[in-house]
A and B are shown apart, each in its own frame.
Chain A
Amino acid sequence: MLRGLLPALSLALVLIAIAWLNPRAISYFGFNLMLNLAIPIALATIAQMFVIAGNELDLSIGTFVGFVGCVTATWLRDAPLGGILVLLGAIGVYALLGALIHLRNLPSIVVTLGMSFVWQGLAVLVLPKPGGKAPDWLLAIMSFKPPYVPFPILAALVIAIVVHFGLMRTSYGVILRGSGGNAAALRRAGWSLLKTKIALFALTGLFGVLSGMALIGITTSADANIGNGYTLLSIAGVILGGGEFVGGRVSPIGAVLGALTLALAASPLLTFMHIPPDWQVAANGAILIIVLAARVLISRRER
């Protein structure tokens, strides 16, 4: 019980720390500012969560987000139809990777490690120099200012609820998670493991595309390296959110909470705490370790 609440507790703890250090940050404007990059991080985390649900890992999601960003800032603006086709094709490549990994029984870590080069290379080819510009409709969406609730929080809620119902409440969602939980049982029940793997990878591709587009909607221009940090952030987000590497045990709501915690902890909190920029990366690592330590303590007590 307590274990399931841990992602929410860690987010609350970070929020309390911020409120204590700088009460003015807890406002409509403050949240908009602090959670600026939370939407793309949350989407990338959800993308990573899908492969983890199938006991795989995607080490290429960061460079993929970067590639999508470059396409969004160039072709999607100049030639929308071509841009859309390229992005759909990229999701198709993800689906193919899922099929390849399943059919040849390949380690996903290595395949996606190789693919991270491919996406990075393609990103450099699409946009050799930082620049480009996001399509106007995307800029309009991302600068949407709803009344009372800051947009990043609203978006995070929508993402969490949609994915939660899709993966945790539908019958095919159960099958997808089952492919990570007990693949042999699923196969004997007559489900195609090939199809589940393709579906999981395609979903990762889809959310990776959404993440890259959201990111460019915020930053307005792109750079081939813009998404590189997202690989590690997304894995950390899934684990912070209570997910596990094996067994199909993931939680979409937890993953979004984990992503928000990381986004908050990444810089605003540390600036308030007067932690020099040198140590901000370390703070991310420390938060991960503290949360995981707390999890061990809690599960030990519940046993």
Chain B
Amino acid sequence: MASLRMLLEKPWIWSFAGALVVWLATIAFTGGYGAGGMVTAALSLAVFTVIVGVGQMFVITLGPGNVDLSLPANIGLASAVAMKVMGGSDSMIVVGLLAALACGAAIGAINYLLIWALRIPPIIATLSASFIIQSVDISYGRGLQIKPPPGFADFTNLQVLGIPVLAMLTVVFTVGAALALQRMIYGRSVLAIGQNIRAAWLAGVNVGRVRFLTYTLCGALGGIDGALLAGYFRGANVDIGNEYLLASIAVVVIGGTSVAGGKANVPGVWGAGLFLVLLLTMLNTFGVSAGVRLVLTGLIIVGVITAAGGEKAVR
């Protein structure tokens, strides 16, 4: 009983519960048909949201106002860079992935440079940057019709016993992220800055360096995500990252991370990612029209955040 209560107090439990409810509702509707396939599909799609969600989580944890709005543009550009570098040949897969990673990391570093040099709110800095990245992508990726190398496309779609390999790797990655957050000096510094940036600075945390690293990390994750998306959907595309602006922020918040910063939750990102994907599957299965699906998605996000509630602002 005590352990159950402890479990209920975990902020991430609600996102998993939500995902479970949505999944059960869908298989109740189909009469059990496609229950396993749904999980496989949900896992393979949730991966892309979880990767950028973790990056966004670190950024949001830095405190109020910290958010990376350049992720969609970043993902779009990185997907084009990865496909161009790989050039459809299997031998260039690793080089292409590294190029996408470097491209994303560079975007993250530029984001922080703007925040630091111009002393502007991250929202405006990443927004201005995203305008520019978008243009670079449109111009660079025009008419780009390079298919991913067959080996890479197969790898991103590979499954073992119905579980996508990419999802397994992402679980390993998120465990690493959770350890970094709770056990490493870097992660503790991020949390400290989010709780009180001045106190963290007085305590000797190198605030500038930690923030720089966090924006760069988030950008790099966006870059990797772009490359993987291009592999999974078999081609790069300017609009490939568009849905990840909302999704990356939504999974962070639904997953129990505080928008006020200083409190992060890695497992919740997984729960929320699965919840969002399964929600879409459910609404599609119910056969609702595109308009109704959008309205319901929005209302559920607002409903979840209202139920989860905001904590009292600490002043």
The finding on whether chains A and B are genuine partners in a shared complex, rather than unrelated, reads yes
* Contact A107–B123 (Cβ < 8 Å): no
CB nearest neighbor in A for B307? A104
* Contact A125–B136 (Cβ < 8 Å): no
Q: List A residues 98-149 near B (Cβ within 8 Å).
A: 100, 104-107, 109-111, 113-125, 128
Report the minimal beta-carbon distance from B216 to chain A, rounded to whole angstroms.
19
Report the minimal beta-carbon distance from A270 to chain B, rounded to whole angstroms.
11
Q: A110-B301, A118-B294, A276-B139 are in contact. List 9 more A-B contacts (CB 8 A).
A: A105-B313, A114-B302, A118-B295, A125-B291, A280-B135, A288-B124, A289-B128, A292-B124, A293-B117
Any B CB within 8 A of the CB of A245:
yes
Q: List A residues 244-287 near B (Cβ within 8 Å).
A: 245-246, 276, 278-286
* Contact B298–A285 (Cβ < 8 Å): no
The segment from B149-157, B174-182, B191-199, B246-254 found at the interface with A is B246-254
* Contact B128–A124 (Cβ < 8 Å): no
Any A CB within 8 A of the CB of B315:
yes
* Contact B294–A236 (Cβ < 8 Å): no
Task: State A76–B91 Cα separation when bound (angstroms).
Answer: 60
Any A CB within 8 A of the CB of B188:
no
Task: Note all chain A residues with C-beta closer than 8 A to B253.
Answer: 107, 110
How many interface residues does chain B have, given as a range?
Answer: 35 or more
* Contact A110–B250 (Cβ < 8 Å): yes
A104 with B128, Cβ < 8 A, contacts A113-B250, A113-B301, A114-B299 known: no
CB nearest neighbor in B for A245? B121
Any B CB within 8 A of the CB of A65:
no
Task: Note all chain A residues with C-beta closer than 8 A to B114.
Answer: 289
Any B CB within 8 A of the CB of A235:
yes
Any B CB within 8 A of the CB of A5:
no
Q: Top 6 nearest A-B pairs by Cβ distance?
A: A121-B294, A285-B131, A117-B298, A282-B135, A114-B301, A121-B295
Task: Note all chain A residues with C-beta closer than 8 A to B127.
Answer: 232, 235-236, 285, 288
Task: State A105–B64 Cα separation when bound (angstroms).
Answer: 14
Task: Note all chain A residues with C-beta closer than 8 A to B260.
Answer: 107
CB nearest neighbor in B for A119? B298
A107 with B124, Cβ < 8 A, contacts A121-B291, A279-B139, A282-B134 known: no
Any B CB within 8 A of the CB of A184:
yes
Can you list 19 A-B pairs, Cβ within 8 angstroms, ordered by A? A104-B306, A105-B309, A105-B310, A105-B311, A110-B249, A111-B302, A113-B246, A114-B298, A114-B299, A114-B300, A119-B298, A120-B294, A122-B295, A124-B289, A232-B131, A236-B124, A245-B65, A282-B131, A292-B120
Any B CB within 8 A of the CB of A296:
yes
Task: State A282–B140 Cα separation when bound (angstroms).
Answer: 13
CB nearest neighbor in A for B142? A278
CB nearest neighbor in A for B260? A107
- Return the contact of B135 from the options A115, A121, A239, A279 (Cβ within 8 A): A279
1/0 contact string of B97-122 vs chain A (CB within 8 Å): 00000000000000000100111110
Report the minimal beta-carbon distance from B256 to chain A, rounded to whole angstroms.
13
Any A CB within 8 A of the CB of B292:
yes
Any A CB within 8 A of the CB of B305:
yes
Any B CB within 8 A of the CB of A160:
no
* Contact A104–B123 (Cβ < 8 Å): no
Any B CB within 8 A of the CB of A200:
no
Task: Note all chain A residues with C-beta closer than 8 A to B312.
Answer: 105
Task: Note all chain B residues with C-beta closer than 8 A to A232.
Answer: 127, 131
Task: Note all chain A residues with C-beta closer than 8 A to B54.
Answer: none
- Return the contact of B118 from the options A57, A121, A285, A292 (Cβ within 8 A): A292
* Contact A116–B298 (Cβ < 8 Å): yes
* Contact A109–B134 (Cβ < 8 Å): no
Task: State A125–B296 Cα separation when bound (angstroms).
Answer: 12
1/0 contact string of A78-101 vs chain B (CB within 8 Å): 000000000000000000000010
Task: State A111–B306 Cα separation when bound (angstroms).
Answer: 8
The interface centre, meaning the residue of B297, B300, B310 with most chain A CB atoms within 10 A of its CB, is B310
A117 with B131, Cβ < 8 A, contacts A184-B315, A245-B121, A245-B123 known: no
Task: State A52–B102 Cα separation when bound (angstroms).
Answer: 35
The interface centre, meaning the residue of B127, B131, B139, B313 with most chain A CB atoms within 10 A of its CB, is B131
Report the minimal beta-carbon distance from A42 to chain B, rounded to whole angstroms.
19
Any A CB within 8 A of the CB of B259:
yes
Task: State A115–B297 Cα separation when bound (angstroms).
Answer: 9
CB nearest neighbor in A for B247? A113
Any A CB within 8 A of the CB of B138:
yes
* Contact B128–A128 (Cβ < 8 Å): no
Task: Note all chain B residues with C-beta closer than 8 A to A118.
Answer: 294-295, 298-299, 302
* Contact A125–B295 (Cβ < 8 Å): yes
Task: State A276–B313 Cα separation when bound (angstroms).
Answer: 47
A288 with B131, Cβ < 8 A, contacts A57-B123, A106-B309 known: yes
Task: State A246–B66 Cα separation when bound (angstroms).
Answer: 13
* Contact A113–B118 (Cβ < 8 Å): no
1/0 contact string of B242-276 vs chain A (CB within 8 Å): 00001001100100000110000000000000000
* Contact B135–A109 (Cβ < 8 Å): no
